[in-house]
Amino acid sequence: MTVHSLETLTFDNSYARLPEVFYAKVSPTPFSAAPFLISANRAAMELLDLDPAEAARPEFAGVFGGSLLIPGMEPLAMLYSGHQFGVYVPQLGDGRAILLGEVTNGRGERWDLHLKGAGMTPFSRDGDGRSVLRSAIREYLCCEAMHGLGIPTTRALCLVGSDDKVYREQIETGATIVRMAPSHVRFGTFEIFYYRKQHEHLQRLADYTIEMHFPELAQAVDKYTRFFAEVVQRTAKLIAHWQAVGWSHGVLNTDNMSILGLTLDYGPYGFMDDYDPGFICNHSDYNGRYAFNQQPYIGLWNLSCLAQTLLPFAPKEELKAALDGYQTSVDRHYHNHMRAKLGLVEDRAEDEALLQELKSLMVGSRVDYTIFWRELSMFSSDAGAKNERLREHFLNPERFDTWAVQYRERLQSEQSRDEERRIRMDRVNPKYVLRNYLAQGAIEKAQQKDYSEVERLLALLQQPYTEQPGMNSYAAAPPNWGKHLSVSCSS
């Protein structure tokens, strides 16, 4: 495999070859102060066949801090619209991000290099086009945390800082992050051309997306229906996985929904601490539209918006049939995740009642979601075992004891062996997740020019299921202040 320098990366900018109605050509706006590298993600560099040594070059921070372009880049801001909190907004677009180009690696994989915080574009509206260090760190770390958990997501190549001042609720310093994905096409990319009644552009977009990312469908007579059905299934699988790990997106607008079923646009996200089905991670979400337990429904609502854009090319009844399969798919994937989290091998109908009773217990006792599932692997199925460590999580331990009897019987009925089950469960129940207070600790250090915690968390979260020596404090329950951090759409 050829290892590349910045200058020899192989670009093939397919989106830039579309008509300019799909985007605006615009270059990044350099910071007035020299950009500097905060962190480079070696795992993401490997996806580009980019030599890790390149990160040490000043040109690396220059390119990904927005002050330099390299051969092959054709920067542009993508156009889209979307439903935001249920209300259609006619034009959005990349207001603070620029697609630098598309890199093809030696395996034939395509990776968008999307520079977030790159300055103003024609779609910035009243914004300044910048990202603040705080929000860039949160996205940088969570992209890799989600990938470590096995959840489809954009990836994070690097984090670049600057001493430039950016104004939000207060004065902060600016930063850029390069996020990577095979495509940054969104549900909202389709919506804008549908609502403008520009069906020829809409069909061009659909054909492009299918050709580039669903090539197996390109020659099918019913390719638009089958394309939509695939997006439905990918979205269902994605959201089921979010529910299983206790993660909330916070702003599931249609412009934040990836056509490839990736987790896209990390703003006011949150991993639950205490188990709360109604968890709202975004304090700007006053009505709880995007609460944790609403995410599966919102996925369906957003998919129905996408289905509407395909009506000019696909029969309504076929699109509806694909949409009707969504909830069944969410339920199936979620059930499979939760069965694995319980350490069960066989699929039985009665397991749903076992799970629901456990979740009811967890809600009533405000049990820490991540810690409990990880510790459940230590459950002893021996007759008479008290499982004291698990009992301590509950305000009513006697009710847990009743559940534990049922769980023990269920494990014994499939001849489960504790040690083998423990290994299986530890592969699906993470020890480390990116809790808000951990991200906040890294942010506060970074604001003092100490980036060590960013690097530490990056390495930790890339292996969330593995016991890591000396890192137990990162798996502990948050301090009280850490449970009440406020995040919003500016996060």
Which residues are tagged catalytic? 255
Residue 180 identity:
M
CA distance linking residue 54 with residue 47, whole number of Å: 14
CB of 128 closer than 8 Å to CB of 490: no
CB of 409 closer than 8 Å to CB of 314: no
CB of 9 closer than 8 Å to CB of 103: yes
> Which contacts (CB < 8 Å, 24+ apart) does range 472-481 have?
474/432, 474/438, 475/370, 475/371, 475/374, 475/431, 475/432, 476/371, 477/273, 477/368, 477/371, 478/273, 478/435, 478/436, 478/437, 479/437, 481/437
How distant, in Å, are the alpha carbons of 18, 93, 121, 294 from that of 127? Answer: 26, 12, 9, 29
Q: Is 274 exposed, middle or buried (0-12, 13-18, 19+ CB in 10 A)?
A: middle
CA distance linking residue 23 with residue 406, whole number of Å: 58
State whether residue 282 is helix, strand or coil: coil
CB of 103 closer than 8 Å to CB of 40: no
CB of 257 closer than 8 Å to CB of 317: no
Tokens for 109?
């994989």
Of 89, 219, 142, the closest CA to residue 443 belongs to: 142
377 CB neighbour count, 10 Å cutoff: 19
CB of 96 closer than 8 Å to CB of 136: no
- Output the DSSP codes for 213-252: H-GGGTT-TTHHHHHHHHHHHHHHHHHHHHHHHTEE-S--
H/E stretch holding 104: strand 97-104
CA distance linking residue 159 with residue 177, whole number of Å: 5
Tokens for 429?
């129940």
